[in-house]
C-alpha cells in the first residue's frame, strides 16, 4: 500500500517547480523483504532567455523495516544546457549522491556511508534530422566509510571521453 503524489507549478515561462514522491510499502531489494519507504523529489527549473536551461533536483529516500532505519539516500543533480542554435548545444551535469546505511539491518556486509560525485560534459551537433554527433567526457568519483568507521577520500573510479555518431539509415 502506497500513496503517490505529484505537484507542478509554472508561474511563468522561465520558472518551473515540481514536487513528487511516495510513502508506504516498498521492497527492500538488498535484503529481500518488505519495508516502508518515504521518497520525495523536488525539482526547480529555470529558463534564462532562449539559450540557457538550468535545473536542480534533489531526491530523498528513506527505507525502514520493522520500525528501524535501513538506509537514507540523498541525490542532488545540477544540470545546465546552453543551446548555440537549433542544431547544437552543450550540456553539463554534476551529480552528488550520499547513502547512509544501518549495517545491523543488512543480511550482508555493507559500507556505513557511500558518497559519490559524477560529472558529465556533452556537446551535440545535429547534421540533419537523421544524423547527430555527440562528443563528451564523464568522471566518476567515490568515497566510503566502512563498518569500522574508516573513511576513504573521494577517489576517481572511472572516466571516459566519448564520441558517438547517430545515423538513421532509410532505404
In sequence order, what are the residues at sequence separation of 6 or more whose Cβ sits closer than 8 angstroms to the Cβ of residue 24?
Answer: 1, 2, 3, 36, 37
Position 151 scores a pLDDT of: 77
Position 155 scores a pLDDT of: 83
Position 147 scores a pLDDT of: 65
Nearest to 18 by CA among 49, 68, 70, 57: 57
Percent of the chain topping pLDDT 70: 98
pTM score: 0.84
DSSP string, 144-163: EE-TT--B---EEEEEEEEE
Q: Is the pLDDT of residue 34 over 70?
A: yes
Q: Is the pLDDT of residue 83 over 70?
A: yes
pLDDT tens, 90-148? Answer: 999 999 999 999 989 998 888 888 899 999 999 999 988 889 999 999 999 988 776 67
* Least confident residue range of 31-35, 53-57, 144-148: 144-148
Q: Are strands 113-128 and 131-145 parallel, antiparallel or unpaired?
A: antiparallel
DSSP string, 106-117: -SS---SEEEEE
Q: Partners of 89 in the beta sheet?
A: 83, 124
pLDDT tens, 9-29? Answer: 999 889 999 999 999 999 999
Position 133 scores a pLDDT of: 95
Q: Is the pLDDT of residue 171 over 80?
A: no
Q: Which residue has the higher pLDDT, 65 or 152?
A: 65
Amino acid at each position: 500500500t502506497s500513496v503517490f503524489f505529484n505537484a507542478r507549478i509554472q508561474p511563468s515561462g522561465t520558472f518551473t517547480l515540481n514536487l513528487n514522491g511516495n510513502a508506504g510499502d516498498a521492497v527492500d531489494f538488498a535484503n529481500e523483504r518488505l519495508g516502508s519507504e518515504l521518497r520525495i523529489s523536488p525539482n526547480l527549473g529555470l529558463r534564462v532567455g532562449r539559450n540557457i536551461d538550468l535545473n536542480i533536483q534533489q531526491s530523498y529516500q528513506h527505507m525502514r523495516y520493522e520500525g528501524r532505519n535501513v538506509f537514507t539516500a540523498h541525490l542532488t543533480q545540477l544540470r545546465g544546457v546552453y543551446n548555440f542554435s537549433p542544431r547544437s548545444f552543450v550540456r553539463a551535469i554534476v551529480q552528488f549522491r550520499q547513502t547512509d546505511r544501518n549495517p545491523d539491518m543488512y543480511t550482508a556486509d555493507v559500507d556505513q556511508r557511500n558518497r559519490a560525485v559524477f560529472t558529465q560534459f556533452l556537446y551535440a551537433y545535429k547534421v540533419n534530422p537523421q544524423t547527430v554527433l555527440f562528443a563528451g567526457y564523464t568522471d566518476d568519483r567515490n568515497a566510503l566509510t566502512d563498518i569500522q568507521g574508516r573513511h576513504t577520500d573521494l577517489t576517481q573510479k572511472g572516466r571516459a571521453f566519448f564520441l558517438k555518431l547517430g545515423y538513421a539509415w532509410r532505404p
